[in-house]
Amino acid sequence: MRKKDKKAVGIMIAVLIICIGGIIGFSFSIMNRISFNKNAVTVSAVISDLRTESYNSDDSIINYTTVYVKYNYNGQDYTRKLEGYEGEKRVGVEVDVQIDPDNPTGQPPADIKSSIAGVVICAFFAVLSVLVCRNVRRSP
SS3 for 117? Answer: helix
pLDDT in tens, 45-93: 999 999 888 888 777 888 888 899 999 999 999 998 887 778 888 899 9
76 or 24, greater pLDDT: 76
Give the whole-angstrom CA distance, residue 78 versus residue 45: 9
Q: Place 94 in a pLDDT band, splitting at 50, 70 and 90.
A: very high
Looking at the DSSP bridge assignments, the partners of residue 69 are 47, 80
Looking at the predicted structure, is the pLDDT value of residue 140 above 60?
A: no
Give the whole-angstrom CA distance, residue 96 versus residue 34: 19
pLDDT given at position 105 = 74
Please give the order of strands across the beta sheet that includes 94-99: 76-82, 60-73, 41-57, 94-99
Q: Place 112 in a pLDDT band, splitting at 50, 70 and 90.
A: low
Q: Find, among 41, 42, 50, the residue nearest to 69 by Cα.
A: 50
Give the whole-angstrom CA distance, residue 98 versus residue 22: 27
Stated pTM of the model: 0.55
pLDDT in tens, 114-136: 566 666 777 777 777 777 666 65
What's the whole-number mean pLDDT along residues 17-27?
75
